[in-house]
Amino acid sequence: MLLLHEISLKQGTTFIVFTEAELVEATDNLADKNILGHGGFGTVYRGLLKDGGVVAVKRFISSMASEQQKEFGKQMLILSQINHKNIVKLLGCCLEVEVPMLVYEFIPKNCREASCTCA
C-alpha cells in the first residue's frame, strides 16, 4: 500500500501493478519453456502480455518479512524512475502474491537496445 501511495504522488511515473492472473497467463503458468534464467534471488520468465508486449517476469525465491517488504517497495519506486540505456527498465510488479514478482522490459539476448528487432 505504501508503494502504491508513493507512485500515485509521483507525476510522470509509469508503473503498472499487474495481477497474479495476468502474469500467470503471460508466462503460461510459469512454464519451464519460458525460463530465461535463474539467479540468486529467483527465476526470470519470458512473458507475453495480452497487448502483445513481451516482458521478463522475475519471481523471487521466498517471501519477505514485513521490514523487507517496506525496503523492497522503496527500491521499486526508485527503480521505476530510472531511465538509462544501460539499465533494463522496471515496468511494474505483482504484489498480491506471497512471493513478489517484478516485470521488466524484455531485451533479447545480445541486444543493446530495447527497440531492437533481432529477436
CATH of the domain at 94: 3.30.200.20
DSSP 8-state symbol, 10 = S
Binding site: residue ranges? 58
Residue 32 CA to residue 29 CA, distance in Å, equals 9
Residue 66, in any domain of the structure: yes
Residue 110, in any domain of the structure: no
What is the pLDDT averaged over residues 91-102? 84
DSSP 8-state symbol, 32 = G
What pLDDT score was predicted for residue 109? 76
Q: Which structural domain range is residue 50 located in?
A: 2-105
Binding site for ATP: residue ranges? 58
Residue 31 CB contacts under 8 Å (≥ 6 apart), including other chains = 45
Residue 79, in any domain of the structure: yes
Domain count for the chain: 1
Q: Show the cell assigned to 12.
A: 510522470
What is the pLDDT averaged over residues 2-20? 66
Instruction: Return the SS3 of 78.
Output: helix
What pLDDT score was predicted for residue 47? 97
- For 43-52, 87-96, 104-113, which range has the lowest pLDDT when averaged over its residues? 104-113
DSSP 8-state symbol, 5 = H
Say what the pTM is: 0.78
- For 11-20, 33-42, 85-94, which range has the lowest pLDDT when averaged over its residues? 11-20
Query: Other C-beta atoms within 10 Å of 34: how many?
Result: 18
Residue 58, in any domain of the structure: yes
Q: Which H or E run contains 56?
A: strand 54-60
Residue 70, in any domain of the structure: yes
Using the predicted structure, report yes or no on whether residue 64 has a pLDDT greater than 70. no
What pLDDT score was predicted for residue 32? 96
Residue 23 CA to residue 49 CA, distance in Å, equals 8
CA dihedral defined by 16, 18, 23, 25, rounded to 10 degrees?
A: -110
